[in-house]
A and B are shown apart, each in its own frame.
Chain A
Amino acid sequence: MSREQANTVPRSQLAKIILVPILMFGFGFALIPLYDVFCDITGQNGKTGRIEASAIDESGVDTSRTIEVRFLAQTNTGLPWSFEPVVKTMQVHPGQVYEAHYRVRSSSKDKTHGQAVPSVSPGLAAQHFNKTECFCFTRQELNAFETRDMPLRFIVGKDIAEEIKEITLSYTFFSLDQG
């Protein structure tokens, strides 16, 4: 066999081999929506849920269990707000609606905008932590040096796992004014 004959690659096979890296480059980007979907389904990543107030059945409050809910607050860089929970912890019964407040104060002389992003720990509690009303549902606009009390109405589901005794709810305010 001469060298020329040996030195051949079927074009269709080559196309298939080249297609693999191209598809995998796309797959790298597809991981982003897949990751979000996965976190949604499994309730990981501490993303909390939202339900309508009318959908709540308050008849079955489980008074036999008490869960401590702790509130945390942070502001991200670039947002001149001070942000803190009015009450730092609450004792709650699963199945009952509670109201908590956060207080935010702007130290800017201009109008500023922020968006709060919630996170719940432990991650598996997130699915059972639902809010009927939250300042994080909309963007917040603060005038110069304005102080605002922001309400939060939430309910911890009755089907939350028995071993969860404490839930930490954390909000981070991100600036919407730059970039």
Chain B
Amino acid sequence: MSTEITHGDVHEEHHDHGPDKGLMRWVTTTNHKDIGTLYLWLAFIMLLVGGAMAMVIRLELFQPGLQWVEPQFFNQMTTLHGLIMVFGAIMPAFVGLANWLVPIMIGAPDMALPRMNNWSFWILPFAFTMLASTLFMEGGGPAFGWTFYAPLSTTFAPDSTDFFIFAVHLMGISSVMGAINVIATILNMRAPGMTLMKMPLFVWTWLITAYLLIAVMPVLAGVVTMMLTDRHFGTSFFDAAGGGDPVLFQHVFWFFGHPEVYIMILPAFGIISAIVPTFARKPLFGYSSMVYASASIALLSFMVWAHHMYTVGMPVAGELYFMYATILISVPTGVKVFNWVATMWRGSMTFETPMLWALGFIIMFTIGGFSGLMLGVAPVDTQYHDTYFVVAHFHYVLVTGALFSIIAAFYYWVPKWTGHMYDERLGKIHFWWSTISVNLLFFPQHFVGLAGMPRRIPDYSLQFAEFNAISSIGGFAFGLAQVFFLYIVIKTIRGGVKATDKVWEGATGLEFEQLPSPPPYHSFTVAPQVK
């Protein structure tokens, strides 16, 4: 096709101009670095907001009985904590990293669709303001859990649910636009010589993630649209009284929901695959197997959704199929973990802060993976279903998995972004503080879950008291550690030891080899040659 859209910069004649002055720079920017920064700050703010909600949850669960909040408010906290952390913290953080890193990793001057990039970010603050505002409405915010199962979210939901529905629509539009941008950038704007199989793994995993996003976010938009019409326009998608089926909600939701969990972990695999070789001073073991493993994880993620629904009353054949397909995913995931370990094997390793977070990721994500295997086994899942064991599992993969990888990425690339080294001593304190407290927080939840403590309940039986108290103490400490992280971030942006262009002795890739630290506002205006 010969027709092409050209996004020429209007200031083409001033090749080395910097950013505009003042606040409007951030509103009108189409620069991938600015937008990446905006995404990362939004994610951090949402992490602290969602974290504050988690503190309320842990405060209430510190002791058995009802002490601090009403059960209805507790339910709003668990619901919004989940929604904000998934859609407000983890996903925007990865999109921010993609904006910052994909162009400088593939030698492109910017993202392919810069104006759309601006839109996809600026929708989000409105979406989250709308979502958070439900807390102040009559009847309270959504209180049906982040999975918003019908009919709890349709027939029995508060009026504010409509704001929740439109907030989800906006997040979906933002994610889809962001993903389209990533795909268009990676497919069209690689530097000459940068073939697909030479791309850094972070770029690969993001390409696959972007395809997952454009495939499943619209299904989420569809399911909330059905909720909306069920609530107001007389349809009965999920209402048995009108011929619909509440179980259908779970099928459609998890058809989105399971690929979603890989959306939140695949970019993490890319980050770890960049950090481990740098500090092991060896090239990544099994690059192409990593690419194929990521692609197979993405494909399998579409075929396993009902393992979230083992207790709805599926026939044995269905349970067996979903069990085997689920267990199959551990094969490509195992390939990845073994490749990281093989990369470190006989490497000359050093343990700077990013490497510590990456190693923490590998060990603790694997723990989360193992509890996932246990949950994937249909006959035993009946016991674990909707207990704290599930809570422990997905916090191991999302906090010590996804979040740890994001923090690792921050420490690894922030010297490149700002030109300042972070404070190594503070970074290490942050790591050990977080790692000890996060295990104190989530490990006991395995035990109370196996003993039968249900999730999403503000009270519990007395025998769970000690483990919950330990868990709450770990929670407060982990929360405080992230406030400490905020201090480290601000300190690093404001100053610090000047970073070298290469930053790390073992660093590879265009961003470390061909750009200064910090990179100019417009980098790779002339595409580099990749051999």
Contacts and interface: CB of A to CB of B under 8 A. Distances in A.
B215 A174 contact: no
B313 A123 contact: yes
A7 B189 contact: yes
A6 B109 contact: yes
Interface stretch (A13-21, A53-61, A86-94, A151-159): A13-21
Interface string A1-28: 1111011111111100110111011011
9 contacts: A3-B15, A7-B7, A9-B5, A20-B211, A21-B176, A24-B215, A25-B218, A31-B252, A32-B252
A4 B240 contact: no
Interface of A: 1-4, 6-14, 17-18, 20-22, 24-25, 27-29, 31-32, 35, 42, 44-45, 76, 117, 121-124, 172, 174-175, 179
Contact of A124 (B7, B12, B214, B315): B315
Number of chain B interface residues as a range: 35 or more
Interface string B1-31: 1011111110010010000000000000000
Nearest to B185: A9
Contact of A28 (B184, B188, B222, B243): B222
Nearest to B108: A6
Interface in B490-531: 522, 525-527
A136 to B, nearest CB: 13
Interface in B226-268: 226, 234, 237, 240-243, 245, 247-248, 251-252, 255-256
Contacts, number: 129
A123 B245 CA distance: 15
Contact of B112 (A7, A18, A25): A7
Contact of B313 (A35, A42, A121): A121
B341 interface: no
Given A1-B527, A4-B6, A21-B217, 5 more contacts: A8-B6, A10-B1, A13-B1, A44-B314, A123-B314
B47 interface: no
B216 interface: yes
Given A7-B109, A31-B251, A17 B240 contact: no
**Secondary structure type dominating chain A contacts:** helix
B55 to A, nearest CB: 35
B123 interface: no
Nearest to A8: B4
A112 to B, nearest CB: 14
Given A25-B219, A29-B222, A174-B241, A8 B188 contact: yes
A31 B12 contact: no
A28 B256 CA distance: 9
Contacts of B315: 42, 44, 122-124
B7 A17 contact: no
A122 B319 CA distance: 14
B199 interface: no
Contact of A24 (B8, B9, B218, B247): B218
Contacts of B180: 14, 17-18, 21
Contacts of A11: 1, 3-5
